[in-house]
Structure 1
Amino acid sequence: MKPSIPRTTFPLPFLILLLLLLPAVVRSGDLIEEVCKKTPFYGLCAATLHSNSSAAADIKSLAATVTNFVLSNATDTLSYIQAQLKKEKDPKAEKALANCAELYIPVVKYNLPQAIEAFFRGYYGFTKYALSDAAKQADACEDKISGAGAGGGELSARNKAVSDLCGVGAAIVGLLMKVGGRGLKV
């Protein structure tokens, strides 16, 4: 009688593929954790990067992902400001919202798109500067609405999110500049 060979529930090629890919998945998660620990907002960084499964290839991919998230959030915030501006009846609050729109428009239409283009051309210093400037504009908007008594609420949360994401992005771009395309040894 021949001994029977136990059958596995997974086909062998699938099992081999799983064993080959598992270390890459673990390493990519480790990279996100390692990079996010070096940013000012670890939780925001980790949540943002883990939500994009393709982000973890390398530190440059992480920086690109966060920079694109910044543009997306700033664009959404500008749209929100413009919608609120159409509804606002209080002249003081309306002026504060108009000032915020004036702060966000160049960030969304020019600064961040140019920063993303510069990033992909290897001009990381400009990208870091533009991200830092975008954070300052979000903070300035917050000062405007707080000074008008319109602070707090949805717009304040949006300004904080943009500012904090900019801080994360600038920190990751700074790490990229430091490692110069080599492995993360910071």
Structure 2
Amino acid sequence: MVSSSSSSFLPFLILTISCTLNPSFFANGDTNLIQKTCKTTKFYDLCLSSLQSDSTSPEADTKGLAIIMAKLAMANATGTNSFLSSTLLAKNTNAALTKNALKQCADKYSAAGTALRGSVQDLTSELYDYAYMHVMAAADYANACRNAFKRYPKLVYPPEIAAREEGLKRICDVVMGIIDGLVI
């Protein structure tokens, strides 16, 4: 006959042995961290698909997820800067006003990349308020590109740049949402 104290000990013993034989059992504790984190952001689907496509996300804590998204935003800003720089060199961009607006946009996206690089450093150092400010600045730099085109009433804001602006702003919103969760 098994006593009640030994019968309650048996599940504990099995759990302990399982965890010892399978160290990944406690790795990162919560397997739903990405989903829980993304639910706190403005763009859940963007957050979820971005983090699920990154191979380092399953091992990351919330701060790590913020860093991954900030790096994604940095890649977006850098890619847009490259796109704008290559557009400046295109033969169909002869108008001086267009070249000037594109140059201003390229400069703004370069600054956005720098701000996002700063946010990654701040997140690593757990300086969340500064990280948030850097991400907010990066989103605003994208908006400044649109404003550069508004200065020239005859110019139309290219839809390719508008889409990239919207993309960067959304990624930045996701990063800021994750950082908000770190500050609490």
Range of TM-score over shorter length: 0.7 to 0.9
1:106 partnered with 2:104? no
* TM-score of the superposed pair, with normalisation by structure 1: 0.76
Tell me the amino acid that sits aligned with residue 166 of structure 2. Answer: K
Larger radius of gyration: 2
Q: Which runs of 5+ in 1 are unaligned?
A: 1-15, 179-186
RMSD: 2.5
Identical-pair percentage: 27
* TM-score of the superposed pair, with normalisation by structure 2: 0.76
Tell me the amino acid that sits aligned with residue 143 of structure 2. Answer: D
Tell me the amino acid that sits aligned with residue 86 of structure 2. Answer: A
Q: Deviations over 1:106-126 (max 9, x none)?
A: 222x32222211211111111
Aligned 1:123-138 pairs, distance under 5 A: 123-138=127-142
User: Is 1:63–1:172's contact at 8 Å kept on the other side of the alignment?
Assistant: yes
Aligned 1:38-77 pairs, distance under 5 A: 38-56=40-58, 57-77=60-80
Post-superposition offset of 1:55: 1.2
In structure 2, how many angstroms separate the alpha carbons of the residues matched to 1:118 and 1:27? 25
User: Is 2:81–2:107's contact at 8 Å kept on the other side of the alignment?
Assistant: no
In structure 2, how many angstroms separate the alpha carbons of the residues matched to 1:105 and 1:32? 29
1:92 partnered with 2:103? no
SS of residue in 2 equivalent to 1:53 = coil
In structure 2, how many angstroms separate the alpha carbons of the residues matched to 1:105 and 1:25? 35
- 2:6 corresponds to: none
In structure 1, how many angstroms separate the alpha carbons of the residues matched to 2:183 and 2:143? 25
In structure 2, how many angstroms separate the alpha carbons of the residues matched to 1:98 and 1:150? 15
In structure 1, how many angstroms separate the alpha carbons of the residues matched to 2:25 and 2:123? 30
In structure 2, how many angstroms separate the alpha carbons of the residues matched to 1:86 and 1:22? 54
Post-superposition offset of 1:26: 10
Aligned 1:13-24 pairs, distance under 5 A: none
User: Is 1:93–1:150's contact at 8 Å kept on the other side of the alignment?
Assistant: no
Q: Which runs of 5+ in 2 are unaligned?
A: 1-17
Post-superposition offset of 1:150: 3.2
In structure 1, how many angstroms separate the alpha carbons of the residues matched to 2:29 and 2:49? 16
In structure 1, how many angstroms separate the alpha carbons of the residues matched to 2:48 and 2:166? 17
Q: Could you tell me which of 142, 147, 157 is aligned with 1:143? A: 147
